[in-house]
Amino acid sequence: MNTKITELLNIKYPIIQGGMAWVAESKLAAAVSNAGGLGLIAGGSAPIDYLREQIRECRKLTDKPFGVNIMLMSPNADDLAKLIIEENVPVVTTGAGNPTKYAEDWKKAGVKIIPVIPSVALAKRMERVGADAVIAEGTESGGHIGEITTMCLVPQVVDAVSIPVIAAGGIADKRGVNAAFALGADGVQCGTIFLASEEVQIHENYKNLVLKAKDTDSIVTGRFTGHPCRGVKTAFAKSLLDFERNGGTPEEFEEITLGSLRKAVQDGNLDEGSFLCGAIAGLIKEVKSCKEIVESLFV
């Protein structure tokens, strides 16, 4: 399937795996790249030496293109931006901020720049600073989210910019992919569906929550902090929402949730973990290999 995205990234299928913090590491990224998509390693707030190791390990596992995601609000963003160049990473995606200050150095190094954007205004700004494409991510996505739905955001971004647009949020089967292309997108980004992959390195409790999720098992917390996140509606997540509604402060909220994603991914801690995933989880019912997942979307 040839689109502007397959040509830009030199991949077989126009799909990028989401840069999920603590989840998207070298094994998952390599498996998605080997399946014909673009795998991503998530930078998150991980130590630079660890991320350098992950990039090099990914290269051992695949000879296909892959990328790294930088969450720009992370304290290590500056160092990771340099690491992208030092390790000759071919693609960088960014989220939770504006990557303008890194764009010139990345362009000189030949890095493809693909920011995640929640609005038309930011999409236009990213085109002006030299982004090669943008990921228009709707509020249905897991993790950090904006407020506009995928159905509304994607066509407005497509009409506003001339660079390729990748649709993200609420895509987990061929119907979602077809809808994205009908809206004018040139590719898709999927994250939640890979939480039910054979290769993903997450605790079984996390994987089971995704597999058992219903359409109503999605919850958004942290809106009052300015950094809302979508995940599975667990007792812990509901307690966070209650905390918001009952006068808790953003500072206290950040303290309560510190380390909660690691507790979900590594420990499967149902009492203190934040099990981030998209609203489409109710559509995912079985574990498949990354190859089977990617091919189910396009073949």
DSSP state string for 67-101:
EEEEETTSTTHHHHHHHHHHTT-SEEEEESS--HH
Does 44 have pLDDT greater than 90?
no
State the average pLDDT over residues 80-92.
Answer: 95
- Quote the percentage of the chain above a pLDDT of 70: 100
Is the pLDDT confidence value at 58 over 90? yes
pLDDT the model gives residue 297: 97
User: CA 140, 267, 33 angle in degrees (round to 5)?
Assistant: 55
Q: What is the residue-wise DSSP string for 195-234? A: GGBSS----HHHHHHHHH--TT-EEEE-GGGT--EEEE--
**Minimal CA–CA distance to 142: which of 17, 231, 255, 203?**
231
Fold of 4-200+284-298: TIM Barrel (3.20.20)
Backbone angles phi, psi at 51, to 5 degrees: -70, -35
- Reported as a single tens digit per residue, the pLDDT across 122-163 is 999 999 999 999 999 999 999 999 999 999 999 999 999 999
| Amino acid 96: pLDDT | 82
- CB distance 70 to 76 below 8 Å: no
Strand-strand pairing, 91-95 and 15-17: unpaired
**From edge to edge, which strands make up the β-sheet containing 143-144?**
143-144, 229-232, 218-221
* Amino acid symbol at 17: Q
pLDDT at 227 over 90: no
Listed in order, the ranges of the chain carrying CATH 3.20.20.70 are: 4-200+284-298
Query: Residues 212-224: what's their mean pLDDT?
Result: 94
